[in-house]
Homo-oligomer: A and B are copies of this chain.
């Protein structure tokens, strides 16, 4: 359990007694156990000088063991106070519990108040930044899964394009994609699949529906899958029938913006420089007001994680970071276009995980 060891070393260096990790994605990251406990308590408790444990609902203990967790599993029943079960297990370790690290960006005020009551007098500090910095840099193991998730996303776009036909609805195309993804072994989609057509492409958060595809539509796919716990996230926009000149100009502007940012990726470049480079291309073409969101977001176990690629993030890129680059123009009278790739920062540049072509694909009716 390398990640547990890493956190233990961190606790030793920082003279902290223990850490309680409660974000389901972080529990998965450090323990290998994937679970969505809803409102129930799920956590990994790591100690400076004692054996860690995972606490989870009792009925999930068999799944926890099957996931490869070799340290103590602690199950709590719905009829028990899970926090008392946790405190008792922690105190049984017989080690000091005066300095406890928690995830302040996840632990609720209510849970914090329970912790303060159960570990009276303890000081609480943050473990968030340590976990973020661990997750920020992907290992080769993780990259293998991300590559596979991206490969499936490429294939999903291919399936979607083949489904396009006059009169088909957005939902019909969407379901054909999702069916094929499940057949290919994707655990699930990493978020609600988006298939938007015609004027609906101009809404960055539209909902697919019964609209029928027509000649002259642009069709925007935004989707991703979870493979072995890791997410992909791709967007492609294609034309059904010959596009107008104005549609072409918007498409090529977005494509140019996207490629400009991708080409800039390498260690040492700042996140905000990527956002600026893409935004400048779009602004210079006169569409700045129609690019209404940040350039991208980190990607891994969560579909939105660090690093955030915004115009104000001064963070320098490092080898092993994985994030999306996804500029868009949402023009209410012409069309919406977004193009999104998943990229890895390599030692001397970039590896693009999503490989579906970016030249404007024109599907004949």
Contact = CB atoms under 8 A, between A and B. Distances in A.
Interface stretch (A3-11, A85-93, A108-116, A253-261): A108-116
Nearest to A81: B312
A292 interface: yes
Interface in A173-227: 174-175, 178-179, 182-183, 187-188, 192, 204-205, 207, 210
A140 interface: no
Interface stretch (A57-65, A143-151, A234-242): A57-65
A244 interface: no
A243 interface: no
B108 A113 contact: no
A245 interface: no
Given A105-B110, A109-B112, A204 B59 contact: yes
A211 to B, nearest CB: 13
Given A175-B179, A178-B175, A59 B292 contact: yes
A330 to B, nearest CB: 9
A294 interface: yes
A308 B104 CA distance: 27
Give the copy number: 2
Contacts of A78: 293-294, 308, 310-312
A79 interface: yes
A37 to B, nearest CB: 10
Interface string A44-61: 000000000000001110
A131 interface: no
A66 B183 CA distance: 38
Interface in A281-334: 292-294, 304, 308, 310-312
Contacts of A182: 171, 174-175
Given A182-B175, A188-B192, A192-B188, A108 B110 contact: no
Contacts of A124: 109
Contacts of A104: 108-110, 113
Contacts of A112: 109, 112
A361 interface: no
Contacts of A183: 171, 210
A102 interface: yes
A39 interface: yes
A355 interface: no
A205 B59 contact: yes
Nearest to A105: B110
A107 interface: yes
Given A175-B178, A188-B192, 9 more contacts: A58-B292, A78-B293, A78-B308, A78-B310, A104-B108, A104-B110, A104-B113, A107-B108, A187-B207
26 contacts: A38-B304, A39-B304, A59-B204, A63-B205, A78-B294, A78-B308, A78-B312, A79-B312, A102-B109, A104-B108, A104-B110, A104-B113, A105-B108, A106-B108, A107-B108, A109-B112, A110-B128, A112-B112, A171-B182, A171-B183, A174-B182, A175-B178, A175-B179, A179-B179, A183-B210, A187-B207
Interface of A: 38-39, 58-60, 63, 78-79, 102, 104-110, 112-113, 124, 128, 171, 174-175, 178-179, 182-183, 187-188, 192, 204-205, 207, 210, 292-294, 304, 308, 310-312
